[in-house]
Structure 1
Amino acid sequence: MNRLLPLSLTVALLFAMGIGLSVGYTALPLDILWHGLIGEGETGYQIVVQEIRLPRVILGAVIGFSLGLSGAALQGLLRNPLAEPGVVGISASAGLGGVIAIYFGLASSVAWALPLTSMTGAGLAVFLLFGLTGRDASVLTIILAGVAISALAVALTSLMMSLAPTPWAVTEMLFWVMGALKDRSMTDVTLTLPFMILGWIFILSTARALDALTLGEETARSMGVNLRHVNIRLILGTAMCVGASVSAAGSIGFIGLVVPHLLRPLVSYQPSRLLIVSGLGGGVLLILADIAVRLIPSKPEINLGVLTALIGAPFFLYLILKTRREMR
């Protein structure tokens, strides 16, 4: 593995975060940005930097890291490059959990309700996906299972919206599901970041087991890998990462598909080495996408989830065609 890759991606992530702090409807010079960040600038600039842009950039970094890491972990577990939280219905199921919390008023009355219901939805989706497909499923089986899970989650989400008591509630659910980092605060960071970090720990603890699984389940068992424990840790880790991400920013897809695919050749196709770099790459990509939605001249601002889908969907189709050619 290129030893400079994690360092390079870390530098790129910090650079992207710096650009994210300075870019917006009003570009801020470096000196004003710095003084606003440390609380020594004018009050207006402090509010813009600390309460509007800083939470947005932090969430972009940690959510991108969570989605990239989860995508790499799922692909390693299922041994399939098309496994990704958005593609296989995990994000949609997490969104359903969040919509349920909004519908019943739990999100406004209990601070932890939105992250917990989103993580529950994501965990159930991972468990169902693994039960339907197993580790050696074909590309077609993965896609069909993901379509079924996603369709069920979307149908139930639409049902909740159709039964919503007010148009305002429908609008809140719709814009939340579409995914965005705008109008987020440090409260969103403090509520969701602990769950994401715990999810990172669970997933990273399976790194060596994922390497062993590339040799097959029997070989992995002979090497002392407890597959049941690995499954539990990956299900919990993915549920926490995706659920907490969706509760903070709504459904943002394809980060976990695009980033691992681009970085896999740079780590010699080794699952354990792909985890960290996919997380860092996911953070970079999501922050750059969020910068793009701020710079695109549109009113209102394009939702981040819409932009990532416009980028990721053609890439997904390309991967399907590529996989089909390789199978011939």
Structure 2
Amino acid sequence: MLGLLVALLFVASLFFGSNPLPVLQAARESLLDTPTVLGLIFAEIRLPRALIALFAGATLGLAGAAMQGLLRNPLASPGLIGSASGAALGAVGMLYFGMGALLPLAVPMGGMAGALLATFLVYLMAGREAGTLTLILAGVAINALALAMISLLLNLAPSPYAVREIVLWMMGSIANHSMHDLWILLPGVLLGWAMLLGTGRSLDALTLGEETASTMGISLTRLRWRIFLAVALSVGSVVSITGSIGFVGLVVPHLLRPLVGFQPSRLLLSSALGGAALLLAADITTRLFPVGTDIKVGVVTSLVGAPFFLYLIIKSRRYQL
């Protein structure tokens, strides 16, 4: 059902825009030796946008499910270990120093480097044998430091135009991207997927407790490194291209967990499909606003995710009472 939903939303993403696009006709015309206007719109605008939404949403959903399974915390998100904020800091640093205008790869490479560095710092601060609470606290500290550095760069920006460029990038958007951006995003994302999809059995064992998982032959240190690196690579690659898109990795695993019997291994693929569906739907929603209204997809996901997050807090308090 999720696969069918993603397929329908993907086709709808190709259709919707400032003007509806006849998808089949545009696809045929994009393959001509001299593409028509419809073919160019399909190949250069609609198709890259839909593919980036698909891969970015799937990555955020998959990474969120993996982090919640590893930390055994339903409120964990892909950015908890600093990967998202580190990627944002690296990309913003490239924008601040004007490297994005000189080198097309500067912003995404800065984002991926920032994500890996932030993840390494979290693990270094927490220590090799750190518990879950220590890892979470280290992640909160690195996130706070990265956000403080981003605020400093905004404060020191040389012009209002630089501030506007940075702020708009941080809102998160999958518009105005080309197939070139997709090729930059794909290597880190696919490598992260491969690393995460092989952790299902270990995450299932971890639900029984760390000691029990160790007796079953699961190396907790190796599992943490594997998931942390996978999340840093995949989420860093996504954030470096799209900017910060929040709450997808938190909301999707929560909605789907009861449907897979609360089993982490089954939740991974389901969350990837659910994340893709949610981000495709959010992107389609941004196009339903009047022409000339540039609503960022990160704003839409936050408007959906923030109330859901508050609902989770209220629900957890009821259980405690």
Question: With structure 2 as the length reference, what TM-score do the two structures score?
Answer: 0.91
Q: Which residue of 2 aligns with 1:283?
A: 276
Aligned residues between the structures: 318
Q: Which residue of 2 aligns with 1:5?
A: none
Q: Which residue of 1 aligns with 2:133?
A: 137
Is the CA contact (8 Å cut-off) linking 1:36 and 1:50 kept in structure 2? Answer: no
Listed as ranges, the gaps of 5+ residues in structure 2 are none
Deviation at 1:168, TM superposition (A): 2.5
Once the two structures are overlaid, the 10-residue window that deviates more, 110-119 or 21-30, is 110-119
Q: Distance in 2 between matches of 1:287 and 1:43?
A: 26
Deviation at 1:160, TM superposition (A): 1.0
Q: Which residue of 2 aligns with 1:60?
A: 53
The AA in structure 2 aligned to 1:137 is L
Deviation at 1:119, TM superposition (A): 2.3
Residues 32-76 of structure 1 deviation map (CA, whole Å, 9 limit, x = unaligned): 333245448961111111001111000000000100000000000
Secondary structure, aligned partner of 1:24? coil
The AA in structure 2 aligned to 1:14 is A
The AA in structure 1 aligned to 2:307 is P
Q: Distance in 1 between matches of 2:317 and 2:116?
A: 30
Q: Which residue of 2 aligns with 1:17?
A: 10
| Corresponding residue to 1:50 among 43, 49, 70 | 43
Q: Which residue of 1 aligns with 2:213?
A: 220
Is the CA contact (8 Å cut-off) linking 1:72 and 1:274 kept in structure 2? Answer: yes
**Alignment CA distance shift 1:187-1:203 (3 Å):** same
1:210 aligns with 2:203: yes
Q: Which residue of 1 aligns with 2:22?
A: 29
Q: Which residue of 2 aligns with 1:238?
A: 231
| Corresponding residue to 1:199 among 182, 192, 196 | 192
Deviation at 1:292, TM superposition (A): 0.2
Q: Distance in 1 between matches of 2:317 and 2:291?
A: 38
The AA in structure 1 aligned to 2:14 is L
1:122 aligns with 2:115: yes
**Alignment CA distance shift 1:253-1:36 (3 Å):** farther
**Alignment CA distance shift 1:320-1:90 (3 Å):** farther
1:273 aligns with 2:266: yes
The AA in structure 2 aligned to 1:215 is L
The AA in structure 1 aligned to 2:182 is V
Q: Distance in 1 between matches of 2:34 and 2:285?
A: 27
Q: Which residue of 2 aligns with 1:305?
A: 298
| Corresponding residue to 1:296 among 282, 289, 293 | 289
Sequence identity of aligned pairs in percent? 48
Deviation at 1:90, TM superposition (A): 3.7
1:154 aligns with 2:147: yes
Deviation at 1:146, TM superposition (A): 5.8
**Alignment CA distance shift 1:89-1:298 (3 Å):** farther
Deviation at 1:86, TM superposition (A): 4.5
Deviation at 1:88, TM superposition (A): 6.5
Q: Which residue of 1 aligns with 2:91?
A: 98
Residues 179-212 of structure 1 deviation map (CA, whole Å, 9 limit, x = unaligned): 1111111110011111100011111122111111
Deviation at 1:126, TM superposition (A): 3.9
1:186 aligns with 2:179: yes
**Alignment CA distance shift 1:320-1:41 (3 Å):** farther
Runs of 4+ off more than 6 Å: none
Deviation at 1:322, TM superposition (A): 1.4
The AA in structure 2 aligned to 1:260 is P
**Alignment CA distance shift 1:88-1:324 (3 Å):** farther
Deviation at 1:261, TM superposition (A): 0.5
The AA in structure 1 aligned to 2:4 is V
The AA in structure 1 aligned to 2:116 is G
Once the two structures are overlaid, the 10-residue window that deviates more, 86-95 or 240-249, is 86-95
Q: Distance in 1 between matches of 2:4 and 2:126?
A: 40
